[in-house]
Structure 1
Amino acid sequence: MKFSKIILKICFLFAIILSANLYSQEREFDIIGNWNSTDFWSNESKTIFTKDGYISLTINGEKIDGKNFIIHGGPNDGQKGEMKYEINTKTSPIQIDIIALKNNVEKGRILGIIVPVHHTKFLMLLNFNGKRPETMNDENFEQTLTLYKTD
């Protein structure tokens, strides 16, 4: 009697693990929506990824509207720009590019990677030197952002 209960419990646990694994494999990472991000030092900001490929950010209280933001500083000071994103979910880790545009011409690209933790949480590491990070590790942990879905 005890042996059959143990076997039944093991089968039940196996079924739960298998179904959870199948669910996670079937569910594709969805970045679209509103996210709160936190950095290593617990600084918070908001990030919005839209269906049409725009990214909007709030950094140090300043909102950068991806569809229509005014450039501050440099040779394009005061001019209108855009920020878009491209994501490749077929790679591991997932690749993300944040693209700065002016008059529909690419002016720069920030390369990064994403590691989904849950459908409402992911880690993102961006590199500003033109080289995509390969992995998140102890050396770059301080630059890693944690994003939580808010909607």
Structure 2
Amino acid sequence: MCVSVYDIRSIEGGSIHPGEGSSTYTVSFRLLMFKPFVGEVLVGRISGYDDKGLHVSLDFFSDICIPGHLMQYDTIRVPDGRWMLKTEDGDELYLDLDDEIRFLVSSIKYPSVPVEQKEDDPPFAPMQIVGSIKGDGLGLLAWWAADEEEAEADEEEAEADEEEVGEQ
């Protein structure tokens, strides 16, 4: 998917072909493209949710969904419409709007352009990404931030203990 024209390197030509009323140019340019691959890990923001799962946005691209069956094992839909993960400790971790989420690209779809589209249909999405948050390190960034801080504190404590032993 083309995100932006990076630059235009050259424009040549300007010829008019017989029988045509428009001029033709040869243009050399570079594009900024977005083409994730299956298995890539991306970070986005939760932009919505429904019965099927979460909707995620990368600011410049928002046709990403994480279906309920590709979330952590104990993730359920609660009556207020949000999704919640119940941990082994009994904690309830909610997936709220605008939370940053790390997900794995499970599949990429390029649907065919519809011949006709009803007025109330959502805009056509030329590329759709299906994501997954099953696995270590995936899910809300806030879930893993506490674990990373604990790991860093444990490492610092171990280094301090080694220095004390070395001094003795």
Question: TM-score normalised to the size of structure 1?
Answer: 0.26
Structure with bigger gyration radius: 2
Structure-2-length-normalised TM-score? 0.24
